[in-house]
Structure 1
């Protein structure tokens, strides 16, 4: 199966449907080619697959209205947040209507005494944290891109803080969701726990817009740490760096973040962010807590890294220095592209049990060293998750084919190690082919039954997550 060159299979729009959309949305409905193309591509390696029309929702009623009408006519409906996905999640493989939620950007309620915030789906993580600045609270999930909270819930995002604070699955208390036929449901209340019925919140988290459209999110907040300290540590080789992380996690040291960058990623980061980091495998740590706790954590971790050949920590204690380091880490994707100007990136991720991480990363790097194209490896290695950037000539089909073979071997390796084909990117289009190997046919049948029950006309982000039953 060629997973990179899928053809669009549009469903024709019925006569008069565009006029109906334009009558309701007015100037908030666009069929301009540039707008459609912007909403028909993401950071995946796929070609642009634009919808037939884009509507900009400003309210739950807007989303419910377009869902009812698309459901009545069997028209594909694709939700769009910030467009930063990596696996083809938002591509309109069957044409249809894209509902852009970016204008639903209101922070509806903050309950500091309960450590919760209620936001519309288009609110971004930076926007939420900026609004919380004077409350002493923050929202910790940080996937790097300034993603929308609705999109982060839909893809079960995580990021650099997941080793301490968990993922979106752990930090969403409730959702408001528009169903395929335009009903509006609330999955839970703000109580910190409940045993009332099916856990609908978790059902929609990670569903990638295929079961319902998330329009509001209630998230957990956390107190700002009393003290924060960050440090970098270089290593003579990749294996030493990763084994240091394994020892740190297995000792139960509550690091807030621990990120890995291989030599290529460090070199790209230096060029892109104008830094002077030592260009060898590197770990980037952050510690949260009281001053005494932070100092104790750092001293213990530094001793572990020394035991594995790591150099002494280089500290970044001032907020501006920490921000510069983490901004550079978050820009590792764009930095990597700079290693090969004009390239396209095929970006993949896997996650394995922490005890198998060094083996998985090491075998992956050895295979990539023999590839005909450059690559980088970065990772949220504190929870066993790492990412590979394969930098490809867009006009060289042989490189694309080679990258797909390497990606397949990487995923097979991770699944054989009792891991998963994706720790945080999600499935979208690119990783459908791995769902059977990870879950098995019976589990996929259950997923298809859920999809059929909630979206019987298959209008919600069709063609994503689930492989065809006969595939």
Structure 2
């Protein structure tokens, strides 16, 4: 079967179906260290009808199909490990409806968060979740992404009211509605959020949107060590203040950011903070936040008051992983993320640092510590078995520590390829039921095979 020619029946523009070497190579990998695997062909649908036709064809012919966006995932989610069709949804990038009085927006899956916020700004509204990369909203829903503002607004799961999903047989369902809440029936929307394209292909999202805060103040709090920074983060969260962002970056990350961005931030463990709300509430939270940081021996508390400096601060945080990648351009990034109960966070970060140091390797720690989620980044040579072994062992110890304390093997990156081995331990009672759900929605196993539950 000439797969490219077959797909031309469903996508009339030949430029939107490709098996060209560069396009195929681009869709063989993501940001992670996981080995690339090329699809046989890449399709770029522009409508829900085209997606439905392609998926129906793939199902009828038992051809694997891997949905993808801008390929920024970190656990191999979009790598087509069994070949077949890479279904690139970036051309489905229209904002279909903005309903400012309902605080809702309806979008196609290829719309990015930056694109959406540019449109919403004129209404005085925003979509606040920011996972770092300018990810597509469909991809963010598929992995239940979050980011730096999750401490204030929650994760992607909290933002989605309705999804249009193409199922494996090509049928199309809507999972919810436009009401802010509902007690009617099973929550099908939540089933598809975080399913990583293994149950269906998202073709439309109805999302909550939020007012832009009246006042915003950003600050950097510098600490002598990670323990103090972690304790300060816990103190601020337990104080009850309405903090907008609270991000931990260690000295290794700060050093990488300074090199990449030509900034001059103090190269010590640092909390990047942002306070949102009314003028009066922000002033009170800033004073309390500074006091709590000083109680943990904060050595410097620097306000970033003007818009340019504030944007530079958050650009530095968002690009931290890319900055770490630039420290070893000939290597690939291996990143793990875990989430623990908030009370366990300071100790968990300390143990992660001790574990990394005990192996004598470079590893940067950063994370969304306001909700107990932190990341460790290693730069590894995928062809160096010993480097991979050591990184895998450190990752294993960090994940096991989190699971033993009631945490999760991934707070926001998702399972993909990299965390499959830990899902069964975390969800041992429900794995058989997850397998039944997968079999019911995708009986032929064509939807993103090799991910989430099954290698």
Name the residue aligned to 2:223: 235
Within the candidate set 159, 172, 176, 1:184 is matched to 172
- Cα deviation for residue 317 of structure 1 reads 1.1
Within the candidate set 284, 301, 318, 1:313 is matched to 301
Counterpart-to-counterpart distance in 1, 2:303 and 2:182: 43
Task: Give matches, 1:165-180, under 5 Å.
Answer: 165-180=153-168
- Cα deviation for residue 312 of structure 1 reads 4.0
Name the residue aligned to 2:22: 34
Within the candidate set 399, 408, 420, 1:411 is matched to 399
Kindly provide the CA deviation profile for residues 390-439 of structure 1, in whole angstroms up to 9, marking residues without a partner as x.
12234421011010011011100000010000000000001001011111
Within the candidate set 440, 448, 453, 1:461 is matched to 448
Counterpart-to-counterpart distance in 1, 2:92 and 2:448: 19
Cα distance change of structure 1 residues 363 and 40 upon mapping to structure 2, 3 Å threshold? same
Counterpart-to-counterpart distance in 2, 1:140 and 1:451: 31
Secondary structure in 2 aligned to 1:132? helix
Within the candidate set 416, 422, 430, 1:443 is matched to 430
- Which ranges of 4 or more aligned residues in structure 1 deviate by more than 6 Å? none
Task: Give matches, 1:50-129, under 5 Å.
Answer: 50-129=38-117
Name the residue aligned to 1:45: 33
Counterpart-to-counterpart distance in 2, 1:419 and 1:16: 47
Query: Cα RMSD (Å) of the superposition?
Result: 1.0
- Cα deviation for residue 17 of structure 1 reads 4.1
Within the candidate set 17, 21, 39, 2:7 is matched to 21
- Cα deviation for residue 364 of structure 1 reads 0.7
Counterpart-to-counterpart distance in 1, 2:93 and 2:368: 29
> Does structure 2 conserve the Cα–Cα contact (< 8 Å) formed by 1:125 and 1:139?
yes
Name the residue aligned to 2:340: 352
Name the residue aligned to 1:147: 135
- Cα deviation for residue 252 of structure 1 reads 1.2
Name the residue aligned to 1:10: none
> Does structure 2 conserve the Cα–Cα contact (< 8 Å) formed by 1:263 and 1:281?
yes
Q: Is residue 255 from structure 1 mapped to residue 243 from structure 2 by the alignment?
A: yes
Counterpart-to-counterpart distance in 2, 1:363 and 1:373: 15
Kindly provide the CA deviation profile for residues 37-71 of structure 1, in whole angstroms up to 9, marking residues without a partner as x.
11110011112111111110100001000011011
Q: Is residue 368 from structure 1 mapped to residue 371 from structure 2 by the alignment?
A: no
Name the residue aligned to 1:323: 311
Q: Is residue 212 from structure 1 mapped to residue 203 from structure 2 by the alignment?
A: no
Q: Which runs of 5+ in 2 are unaligned?
A: none
> Does structure 2 conserve the Cα–Cα contact (< 8 Å) formed by 1:433 and 1:467?
no
Q: Which runs of 5+ in 1 are unaligned?
A: 1-14
Counterpart-to-counterpart distance in 2, 1:340 and 1:70: 40
- Cα deviation for residue 16 of structure 1 reads 4.5
Counterpart-to-counterpart distance in 2, 1:206 and 1:346: 21
Cα distance change of structure 1 residues 246 and 455 upon mapping to structure 2, 3 Å threshold? same
Name the residue aligned to 1:289: 277
Q: Scaled by the length of structure 1, what TM-score is found?
A: 0.95
Name the residue aligned to 1:11: none
- Number of residue-to-residue matches in the alignment: 453
Secondary structure in 1 aligned to 2:243? coil
Secondary structure in 2 aligned to 1:134? helix
Within the candidate set 396, 420, 437, 1:432 is matched to 420
